[in-house]
Amino acid sequence: MSNPDVPQPIVAGRGGPDTGPRDVLRDQQAPDNTHAPSTDRGTLPNMRFSFSDVHVRLQPGGWSREVTVRELPVATTLAGVNMKLDARNERGETGVRELHWHKQSEWSYMLSGHASVTAVDADGRNFMADVGPGDLWFFPAGIPHSIQALEDGCEFVLVFDDGNFTENSTFSVSDWFAHTPRAVLAKNFGVPESAFASIPDEELYLFWVPEPPGHDEDVIASPQGGLGEAFVYRLLAQPPIKTAHGTVRIADSSNFTASTTTACAFVEIEPGGMRELHWHPNTDEWQYYVSGEARMTVFAAEGKARTFDMRAGDVGYVPFAMGHYIENTGSETLRFLEMFASDRFRDVSLAQWLALTPPELVQAHLKLPDDLIARLPKLKPVVVHR
């Protein structure tokens, strides 16, 4: 007798039992791969990839892993990095992401712990701030910066505005020093070559350094002035848009002015709730699932649709203009980030569109009851609902 907890590829009399071999645990995590809703049709690319399925780069003081087009080929507009910097050790050191810069802009959401971030812009203005859970930072392309854990360590997700991004292509200060003749370094800094006798011979990337002493002791006054908290946004301090079954907070260039190439929504959905049927009219959507379990069906036109099961630590992706929803299928609050390579967050609600269209036209298309059409919300409906 078959186990009812093991999904079988049987839907409405189609298909038949899978007797193995099979990865039962994986099939149980993604049942809609095995027996998708009967409304799924056609062949669509994979739009889900887990950080748990990628190689972890282990370093003194921390680790990192990334999901790019190499792992998720459909995700061409954005790439993500999950990074951990270790807490204070017995020597009073914490993990640091060394001084570096990128060709792409860097956006980040703090998952846990605390860190100190620093930067200097092209006008010589410096920046330093402490960040904690729920905080964002954004460094424009080419701006040098660093990230160092405070006493409790930290973990965060980084998002870059290019699906082809890889941390392996970072411009690191140690790597540049290692590949510059010492005579040139001496001339540049106006000191003897002997001053560079101990520089690293390769990139440091992540390593241990003494814990930051704190802003009052560590601040360096720039003659050009400072940037305050220009590159940081306290997302969880933002009053959320509340609905009956969840909340949403939006950060883009309208309220986080530094973030000119990346916009986000942080969505929380209670068990049984749903992020409504909608689409984005300006760009693709890259998702990161912080907690909980979800189901998402993506409608791609041409009679094509595919359903994906999402879990904490997963990356999801929805190509430009494709309709979709996200439903909480678990027993805890679902939390996830919607990310966009855009300066502004934009979405179109299916329900609002129909509500603002002549009702007789809607009825002629969909044969909906008149009372249902009359109840459609003319304002954008709740972000999440049952």
Asked whether residue 192 is domain-assigned, the answer is no
148 and 278 in a common domain: no
Asked whether residue 69 is domain-assigned, the answer is yes
Asked whether residue 17 is domain-assigned, the answer is no
Q: Which domain holds residue 123?
A: 49-170+205-231
What are the tokens at 64? 């990192």
Q: Which residue has the tokens 């748990």?
A: 52
Asked whether residue 242 is domain-assigned, the answer is yes
- Taking alpha carbons only, the member of 282, 279, 275 closest to residue 337 is 275
Instruction: List CB contacts of 336: < 8 A, sequence separation 6 or more.
Output: 266, 267, 287, 288, 289, 290, 292, 294, 310, 316, 326
Asked whether residue 251 is domain-assigned, the answer is yes
CA dist., res. 47 & res. 52, Å (int): 15
257 and 212 in a common domain: no
What are the tokens at 280? 């984005």
243 and 359 in a common domain: yes
224 and 153 in a common domain: yes
Dihedral, 353, 300, 371, 328 alpha carbons, nearest 10: -100
225 and 247 in a common domain: no
259 and 217 in a common domain: no
318 and 223 in a common domain: no
Asked whether residue 185 is domain-assigned, the answer is no
Asked whether residue 186 is domain-assigned, the answer is no
Instruction: List CB contacts of 162: < 8 A, sequence separation 6 or more.
Output: 77, 78, 79, 103, 104
- Taking alpha carbons only, the member of 77, 67, 39, 74 closest to residue 297 is 39
Alpha helices in the chain (DSSP H): 24-29, 31-34, 173-178, 182-189, 215-218, 350-355, 359-366, 370-375
Write the pLDDT tens digit of every residue in 327-383.
999 999 999 999 999 999 999 999 999 999 999 999 999 999 999 999 998 887 655
Domain harbouring 83, CATH code: 2.60.120.10
Asked whether residue 183 is domain-assigned, the answer is no
CA dist., res. 316 & res. 332, Å (int): 19
245 and 111 in a common domain: no
Domain stops at, among 214, 231, 248: 231
SS3 content of the chain, % helix, strand, coil (to 5): 15, 40, 45
Catalytic residues: 338
Q: What is the number of structural domains in the chain?
A: 2
243 and 163 in a common domain: no
160 and 57 in a common domain: yes
Other CB atoms closer than 10 Å to residue 228's CB: what's the count? 11
DSSP bridge partners of 149: 115
Write the pLDDT tens digit of every residue in 223-232.
887 777 899 9
Please list the pLDDT of the chain residue by residue as tens digits (386 residues).
467 788 888 888 888 898 889 999 889 999 999 989 999 999 999 999 999 999 999 999 999 999 999 999 999 999 999 999 999 999 999 999 999 999 999 999 999 999 999 999 999 999 999 999 999 999 999 999 999 999 999 999 999 999 999 999 999 999 999 999 999 999 999 999 999 999 999 999 999 999 987 655 566 777 887 777 899 999 999 999 988 889 999 999 999 999 999 999 999 999 999 999 999 999 999 999 999 999 999 999 999 999 999 999 999 999 999 999 999 999 999 999 999 999 999 999 999 999 999 999 999 999 999 999 999 988 876 555 55
Beta strands 93-101 and 206-210: pairing type? antiparallel
285 and 160 in a common domain: no
244 and 152 in a common domain: no
CB 310 within 8 Å of CB 48: yes
User: pTM for the whole thing?
Assistant: 0.94
